[in-house]
Structure formats: C-alpha cells, structure tokens
Amino acid sequence: MSLLNGKNNDSQDPLTRNMQNEVIKIASERLGYPLPANLVAKVRQPNWSYMGLEMMIESVREIEKSEILTYLSKLD
C-alpha cells in the first residue's frame, strides 16, 4: 500500500487525494528525501478542505526548505 498514491484512504474523493499527493510530492522534492510517515499521515487526514490543501501546497512551495518539517508537524 503506497502512501503517496492515495490507496490507503479510498474514502476520500480523487481531487482530495491528488491535492494530498501534491503536498507530499513537493515537500519530498524540496527536502530531497521522502516525507516521514508521521507527516504523510498528517497530510492524509480526511478533514482538510480543498482550500486547506491548497494552502498547504502553496506553503510547502514557498516556505524555507528548513521550515517544511516544522510546518507539517504542526498540522492538526
């Protein structure tokens, strides 16, 4: 079961899964290594709205690379 492709949470709609994948992908690319499983789980929470996920996408694109893990760890 892959955490990146969204197969671990089939109850969410495809757009939500795609946006979650994008957050994980951008963060991992910027960090240069896969996102830790505990942070992937925070992104994969089913309670994020499209706007919330869009804000996460923009944040991981724009914040300093050194702040990505801290930012994601504070997601509730």
Question: Where are the domains positioned within the chain?
Answer: 14-73
Whole-angstrom Cα distance, residue 61 to residue 30? 8
Q: Which pLDDT tens digit goes with each residue over 1-40?
A: 344 444 445 678 999 999 999 999 999 999 999 999 999 9
Whole-angstrom Cα distance, residue 57 to residue 61? 6
Q: Which pLDDT tens digit goes with each residue over 39-69?
A: 999 999 998 999 999 999 999 999 999 999 9
Q: Whose CA is closest to 75, among 44, 54, 50?
A: 44
